[in-house]
Amino acid sequence: MPGRTKPTGLSKSVSPLHGEAVATTWKVHSIVHGWSNCFLLEAGDDLVLIDTGRPGFEESFPRKFQELGRTLGELSHIVLTHAHPDHTGNVHTLRKASGATVWAHPATAELLAQGQTFEPYTPRPDPIAWVIEKTVISRAERHLKPLVIDQTVHDGSTLPFAGGLQVLATPGHARGHIALLSPGQGGALFVGDAMVNLPWL
């Protein structure tokens, strides 16, 4: 396809279906929405999006796909690390445009099926929690059009694409929070919000 970016970095991974070594080429692209990051993986024949970013940033996706010489229709899978709106804000638009399969933890699926992005909670009685509540959480979208997740995943699941991403349950930030590990790519780890690089958190 004209203008398509060539994936680089041939490596070996283990096929989740047959247990044999398979060659998988990977290229990772970040899509930044303020302090939120989504990651687009070109992994062999698979085009996979990890998280869908904040509401209001829909146009960033067709722009990125166009830069890569790809189309939204080629997106095959969307994996949500958790339900918070800065990670699920564009999932409806992207699934409709691509027909991609959406994957998430059952706790995330439960929330999103109810149109919720946060679990009920009581902020901790300390200054940092108060600042986060007033500056971030109180301004976030707590409701989303109800979404039915196509496939649920659990701790230890191996996803049948991108060379076999492994699911790690990492609850805490959210009950259904997961991270994704690719041992075949030098231990590449996508952590959602289990780690942050904001100086005030």
Query: Taking 80 as the threshold, does the pLDDT of residue 27 lie above it?
Result: yes
pLDDT digits (tens, 9 = 90+) for 38-64: 999 998 788 999 999 988 888 899 999
- Helical spans, DSSP H, in 149-193: none
Instruction: Report the half-sphere exposure of 12 (CA within 13 A, side-chain side).
Output: 3
pLDDT digits (tens, 9 = 90+) for 70-102: 999 999 999 999 998 889 999 999 999 999 999
Query: Taking 60 as the threshold, does the pLDDT of residue 174 lie above it?
Result: yes
Return d(Cα 77, Cα 195) in angstroms, integer: 23
Return d(Cα 159, Cα 166) in angstroms, integer: 6
pLDDT value of position 45: 80
Query: Taking 50 as the threshold, does the pLDDT of residue 12 lie above it?
Result: no
Return d(Cα 52, Cα 94) in angstroms, integer: 8
Q: State the sign of the Cα–Cα–Cα–Cα dihedral 92, 178, 141, 65.
A: negative
Lowest model confidence (mean pLDDT) among 46-50, 107-111, 128-132, 171-175: 128-132
